[in-house]
């Protein structure tokens, strides 16, 4: 039961009071409410630029909040069912990295599935944590990694009783959910913390018909991308903590890497979005789920495409499925996901979230309308009619789990050399290689490169995937251990 009056938006109310005072600015930012940069005002609007202000006493300070930001964080914790909440302006990347840096130091083990976001790997490069991978199965028909199985979690925990924490994707980018509540129970029995990467799970907190949220499952920390399904501005995020975390220590960790010049545009968007979800989230996400299910049904009627959903649930590796995720397998019409992604954008003016080797994801959220869904369905029908071809030459697997040889920190900071991609078979990778989005690494520092991985990277390049993370922007050369 919520204890706070969720109709309040303290940061926004403070900004409104500040705006009415017409304070003369002799502080930063230097555009001085837009007067010094009229082109910026033309682009963003006078009200937006006028609220791009610096921390000051009436507006509090994100690094050490004592008034309106503190109140906004308390309201957020209440709305999400957490003991503590932190407003984050360096994206959910910063939230994920804070979680890991809060529970791990150099040499500490952390259990993770291999299909984590690059921010997890980068956090281990920063703090020196040692990854222990929990194996995940792959759905052979659609080529996506599934959730982590409970017995596999138990096995890995029994084999690594000194591990400090386990990180779980809730849900994955594709909508797959693990049995988080049971994993939390097992982890706590082993004395481990549970970190939930909920970059794609904001909505789970506001509708009981959706999979369980991290805080409801008893996780110790959760990183939540409010800007994805929650409606706040890009780069704004929240970090949630349970009762067994030292919130002031977590704040210190946040302040190691987060900017000291917090954007009040981002902060106010978090404040307003939290209020909106607290007051209207349940009905909003019920509508989102209905739209996504309608789209799934219509797309599967086309033939060739497969918009998957709750039928994947098996009670273990797919314990639950987030139906708001409109994930669609495309190789049934002979096209990779990235090819369909490009066609939708270039030929139909439809921008979807991502396309990979086998799938696309259309992100359905509180801002979508049924006519937008109809347009997407019509475009996919048209693409099948105009571009369908034989699929026999397509790569059938999407997810490869490489052998881990060194820690990410050791591999990243050791002596390295760049070699042509085709000469790296058997070498140890010293950098990230990934398709972005979704930002799940194909290779991380410390993993052995294989012929299969090389072929996958070459296929991804040929099909137009945006490969990132390497020193060489063309990904012709890969950095390997010398």
Tens-place pLDDT, residues 13-59: 999 999 999 888 899 999 999 999 999 999 999 999 999 999 999 99
pLDDT tens, position by position, 78-109:
999 999 999 999 999 999 999 999 999 999 99
* Range 408-481 classified under CATH 3.90.105.10: yes
Residue 54's pLDDT is: 92
Residue 396's pLDDT is: 61
Ranges of each domain in the chain: 281-387, 408-481
Q: How far, CA to CA in Å, does 300 sit from each of 295, 296, 328?
A: 8, 6, 9
Q: Give the residue among 191, 190, 212 at the shortest CA–CA distance from 203.
A: 212
Mean pLDDT within 422-433: 96
| Per-residue DSSP letter, 406 | S
User: Which DSSP string corresponds to 200-252?
Assistant: T-GGGGS-TTSPPPHHHHT-SEEEE-HHHHS---TT-EEEEE-TTS-HHHHHH
68: pLDDT strictly greater than 80: yes
Cα–Cα dist 95/221, whole Å: 10
Mean pLDDT within 194-213: 97
Q: How far, CA to CA in Å, does 234 sit from each of 111, 143, 229, 230, 297?
A: 29, 29, 11, 10, 30
Helix, strand, coil proportions of the chain in percent (round to 5)? Answer: 40, 15, 40
Residue 466's pLDDT is: 87
- Under the banding of pLDDT at 50, 70 and 90, the label for residue 1 is very low
**Residues forming beta bridges with residue 91, ordered by sequence position:** none
Query: What is the CATH architecture assignment of 281-387?
Result: Alpha-Beta Complex (3.90)
Report the mean per-residue pLDDT for the chain.
95
pLDDT tens, position by position, 289-339:
999 999 999 999 999 999 999 999 999 999 999 999 999 999 999 999 999
Mean pLDDT within 353-380: 95
408-481: same fold as 281-387?
no
pLDDT tens, position by position, 369-421:
999 999 999 999 999 999 999 987 787 655 688 999 999 999 999 999 999 99
pLDDT tens, position by position, 153-191:
999 999 999 999 999 999 999 999 999 999 999 999 999
Mean pLDDT within 232-255: 98
């Amino acid at each position: 039961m919520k204890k706070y009056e969720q109709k309040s938006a303290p940061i926004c109310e403070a900004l409104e009071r500040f705006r009415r005072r017409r304070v003369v600015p002799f502080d930063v930012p230097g555009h001085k409410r837009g007067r010094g940069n009229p082109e910026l005002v033309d682009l963003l609007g006078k009200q937006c630029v006028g609220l791009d202000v610096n921390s000051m006493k009436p507006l509090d300070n994100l690094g050490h909040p004592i008034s309106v930001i503190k109140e906004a964080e308390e309201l957020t914790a209440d709305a999400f069912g957490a003991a503590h909440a932190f407003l984050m302006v360096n994206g959910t990347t910063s939230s994920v990295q804070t979680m890991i840096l809060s529970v791990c130091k150099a040499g500490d083990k952390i259990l993770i599935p291999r299909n984590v976001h690059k921010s997890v790997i980068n956090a281990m490069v920063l703090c020196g944590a040692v990854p222990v991978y929990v194996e995940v199965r792959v759905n052979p028909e659609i080529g996506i990694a599934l959730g982590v199985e409970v017995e596999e979690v138990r096995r890995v925990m029994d084999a690594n009783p000194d591990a400090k924490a386990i990180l779980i994707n809730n849900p994955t980018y594709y909508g797959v959910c693990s049995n988080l509540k049971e994993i939390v129970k097992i982890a706590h029995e082993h004395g481990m913390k549970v970190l939930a990467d909920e970059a794609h799970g904001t909505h789970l907190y506001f509708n009981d018909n959706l999979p369980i949220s991290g805080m409801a499952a008893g996780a110790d920390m959760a990183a939540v991308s409010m800007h994805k399904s929650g409606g706040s501005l890009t780069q704004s995020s929240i970090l949630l903590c349970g009762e067994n975390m030292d919130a002031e220590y977590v704040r210190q960790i946040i302040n190691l890497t987060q900017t000291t010049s917090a954007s009040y545009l981002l902060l106010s968007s978090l404040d307003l979005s939290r209020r909106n979800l607290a007051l209207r989230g349940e009905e909003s996400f019920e509508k989102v789920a209905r739209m996504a299910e309608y789209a799934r049904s219509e797309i599967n009627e086309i033939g060739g495409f497969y918009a998957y959903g709750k039928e994947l649930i098996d009670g273990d590796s797919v314990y639950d499925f987030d139906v708001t995720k409109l994930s669609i397998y495309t190789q049934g019409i002979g096209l990779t996901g990235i090819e369909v992604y490009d066609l939708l954008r270039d030929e139909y003016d439809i921008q979807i979230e991502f396309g990979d080797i086998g799938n696309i994801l259309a992100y359905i959220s509180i801002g979508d309308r049924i006519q937008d869904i109809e347009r997407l369905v019509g475009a996919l029908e048209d693409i099948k009619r105009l571009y369908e071809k034989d699929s026999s030459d397509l790569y059938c697997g999407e997810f490869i789990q490489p052998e881990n040889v060194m820690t990410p920190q050791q591999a990243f900071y050791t002596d390295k050399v760049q070699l042509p991609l085709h000469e790296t078979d058997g070498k140890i990778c010293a950098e990230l290689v990934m398709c972005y989005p979704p930002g799940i690494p194909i290779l991380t520092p410390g993993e052995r490169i294989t012929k299969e991985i090389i072929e996958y990277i070459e296929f991804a390049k040929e099909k137009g995937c945006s490969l990132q993370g390497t020193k060489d922007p063309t990904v012709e050369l890969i950095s390997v251990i010398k």
